[in-house]
């Protein structure tokens, strides 16, 4: 068990801190106070200090945080100082887009393999990596020390395949299938439910229009 449980909300904010600190670092900023960071990130300074206190506070002195140090430390907490081997399961449009999109490599996520059930797609190369048939996945995962699987297959198959991934020792699933997976607690799951996200946007749009008397008629 965790010595201290970090809330999901805090965890969810860490990548954003990391992103802003990376930009500050690239701009040559050496120190920054929680006040200044607050102004840039549109979060209160007290929120920032509270969040950082979960990890020991990163030693802000009167003159602020050391940007480079803070960036490195948050990166370390995020596990970005490690190398992860990642496969994509499902070489459809989204799987291919993610494979190509992967400048994730500079964060230590190495795109190692891609799999599909469709024999027409198998053998094709994406970013220099051949699409392999699903049957080869278990052996491939074991041989290549793969720890993360990106799941970009239809939801009808996702639960079954997630179970299979768990069984062959995958440690984390980045799930784009539009279904909640059922895997053992030993496997970490992060969902990207794109439809849910678009519906949330639709809600915000609708509710803004309702509040402002702009609601359209059904067209």
Give whichever of 14 and 67 is closer to a second copy, judged by the CB atom.
14
Asked if 194 is part of the footprint of a second copy (rule: CB under 8 A), the reply reads yes
Stretch that binds a second copy, among 61-69, 82-90, 117-125, 132-140 (CB under 8 A): 82-90
Looking at the Cβ atoms of 39 and 101, the one nearer to a second copy is 101
Provide CB contacts within 8 A for 144, sequence distance 6+.
Answer: 85, 112, 113
Q: Examine residue 218 and tell whether it contacts a second copy (CB under 8 A).
A: yes
Residue 156 is a binding residue for a second copy (CB under 8 A): no
Binding-site member from 15, 57, 59, 123 for a second copy (CB under 8 A): 15
Task: Show the tokens assigned to 112.
Answer: 């190692």
Indicate which single residue of 32, 96, 146, 181 sits in contact with a second copy (rule: CB under 8 A). Answer: 96
Spatial contact of 198 and 178, defined as CB atoms under 8 Å apart? no
Tell how many helices (H) and how many strands (E) occur in the chain.
8, 9
CA 156, distance to chain mean position in Å, is 23
Q: Which is nearer to a second copy, 61 or 103 (CB)?
A: 103
**Out of 53, 118, 144, 202, the residue judged to bind a second copy by CB under 8 A:** 202
Task: Point out which residues pair with 109 in neighbouring strands.
Answer: 84
E strands in 36-127: 65-66, 84-89, 109-116, 125-126
Question: From residue 1, how far is each of 6, 9, 52, 188, 202 by CA, in Å?
Answer: 12, 19, 21, 14, 39
Q: Which residues bind a second copy (CB under 8 A)?
A: 1-3, 6, 11-12, 14-16, 18-19, 42, 77-84, 93-94, 96-98, 100-101, 104, 107, 109, 147-148, 171-172, 174, 178, 180, 186, 188-190, 192-209, 211, 216, 218-219
């Amino acid at each position: 068990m965790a010595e201290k449980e970090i809330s999901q909300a805090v965890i969810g904010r860490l990548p954003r801190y990391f992103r802003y600190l990376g930009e500050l670092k690239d701009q040559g900023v050496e120190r920054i106070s929680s006040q200044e960071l607050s102004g840039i990130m549109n979060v209160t300074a007290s929120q920032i200090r509270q969040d950082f206190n979960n990890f020991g506070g990163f030693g802000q002195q009167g003159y602020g945080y050391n940007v480079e140090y803070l960036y490195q430390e948050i990166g370390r907490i995020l596990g970005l100082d490690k190398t992860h081997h990642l496969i994509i399961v499902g070489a459809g449009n989204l799987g291919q887009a993610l494979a190509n999109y992967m400048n994730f490599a500079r964060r230590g996520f190495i795109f190692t393999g891609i799999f599909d059930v469709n024999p027409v797609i198998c053998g094709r190369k994406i970013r220099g990596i051949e699409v392999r048939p699903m049957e080869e996945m278990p052996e491939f995962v074991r041989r290549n020390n793969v720890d993360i699987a990106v799941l970009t297959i239809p939801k009808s198959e996702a639960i079954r395949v997630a179970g299979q991934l768990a069984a062959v020792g995958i440690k984390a699933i980045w799930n784009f299938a539009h279904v909640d997976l059922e895997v053992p607690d030993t496997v970490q799951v992060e969902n990207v439910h794109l439809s849910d996200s678009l519906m949330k946007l639709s809600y915000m749009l609708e509710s803004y229009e309702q509040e402002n008397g702009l609601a359209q008629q059904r067209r």
